[in-house]
Copies of this chain bind each other. A is one copy, B any other.
Amino acid sequence: MDIKNIKSEFPIFKQKVNGKPLTYLDSANSSQKPKAVIDRISNFYETEFSNVGRSVHTLAVKATNRFEDVRDKVKAYLNAKHREEIIFTKGATEAINLVATAFGEKFINKGDEILTTELEHHSNYVPWHFVRQKKGAVIKFASVNEKGEVDLDEIKKLITNKTKIIAITHISNVTGTIMPIKKIIDMAKEKKIPVLIDGTQGAPHIKLDLQDLDCDFYAISCHKMYGPNGLGILYSKKKWLDEFPPYQGGGGMISEVFKDNVTFASTPTKFEAGTMQTAEVVGFSEAINFIENLGIEKINKHENEILEYGIEKLKRNNSVNIFGDPKERGSVISFTMKGIHPHDIATILDEDGVAIRAGHHCCQILHDKMGISATARASIGVYNTKEDIDILCDSINKCKKVFNI
């Protein structure tokens, strides 16, 4: 596979949008899927489908093995220590809710502090807000500066002996800021504070070695990694999972069930109640193959080239204001235009087949801080090219014409 021609692996690019070829710059929202992933899902349903972990007939055995093989594959891909540290969830949102619920229930009490940043996606804030409400805990926010960066020293200062957990994003889905998570984790480890990384925007772009990173939790959205909808992954150190109470109750996660008591299966089964998303998990296996065949470093390099080209070109456009200017940035450019609201930009761009996102991107706290209610966001995936950026920039200029600016 050649990264220059990789669009041809993605069926979505065969169609026209509003008569124009699709220029998809919304991968931070959800990535498109390569043919191999789509075909694997169909093929699984057509020839191998059965419920996992329940029956002993041939199809069930096959499906169960396929499912569990993907756990091993994800473990290897993330370099986790144990296969039991990989939990399949509905998405990164569920992964973070699981941790917040279980950790909150067991380890957070009145007055305890949860440390996070102003950069976070609602999915890495609202679950902690629930804990705050239930336990009377306090959420502290490390502030973000105009560049979109968070100061390490401030984080250090905010850590107290009441800090029970640090929850922080790997890459901001708005400013693209790559957070110095390794340093934060090291800092936290000195004080024995566990760290959750919202890796939703990290995993699709950056090579991960979770044993080296040594975070306690890492949440992933498979659908942003060229994988299927409706699937996420919680990586968690085994010691936490072993201590955590189960999250949802139901079939598959039990050990013994009596009228007066229930005991639970061991990790990871304890956290996978009910019928799992077997087809999605099996399909995700192909997404990992896709990434591994190209090489995540090569994907990263390619995306960075497009990103830099885009930032330079947009910087030269006087009507465009790029949101944030972090030293380390990954695959996202958010911007505003004087006199044209992001929502209108998105609509005008769409006429040219250019798909971007407008709004607060589930980061209202960040937008409030910056005194702005919405931004337009172009985000980059493996299939984007410099031409996509050129089309984006032409279309941005058209916005000015439509608005007589």
Contacts and interface: CB of A to CB of B under 8 A. Distances in A.
Interface of A: 11-12, 14-15, 17-18, 22, 24, 26, 29-30, 32-33, 35, 37-39, 41-42, 45-47, 49-51, 54-60, 90-94, 96-97, 100, 118, 121-123, 125-127, 129-130, 139, 141, 221, 223, 228-232, 248-254, 256-259, 261-262, 273-280, 343, 346-347, 349-350, 353-359, 362, 364-365, 368
A215 to B, nearest CB: 20
B11 A228 contact: no
B12 A26 contact: no
B365 A97 contact: no
B58 A275 contact: no
B277 A90 contact: yes
A26 B60 contact: yes
A103 B273 CA distance: 20
Residue of A45, A51, A55, A253 with highest tally of chain B CB at under 10 A: A45
B357 A91 contact: no
A350 to B, nearest CB: 4
A249 B123 contact: yes
Contacts of A231: 230
B26 A55 contact: yes
Contact of A275 (B91, B261, B343): B91
A126 B47 contact: no
Contact of A357 (B24, B32, B55): B55
B262 A56 contact: no
Q: How many copies does the complex hold?
A: 2
Contacts of A42: 38-39, 41-42
Contacts of A122: 249-251, 254, 257
A274 B89 CA distance: 11
Nearest to A173: B251
Contacts of A55: 26, 29, 346, 355-358
Contacts of A277: 90, 229-230, 277
A282 to B, nearest CB: 9
A130 B274 CA distance: 15
A358 B293 CA distance: 40
A338 to B, nearest CB: 20
A125 B257 contact: yes
Contacts of A57: 17, 26, 346, 349-350, 354-357
Contacts of A254: 122, 126, 362, 364
A290 to B, nearest CB: 14
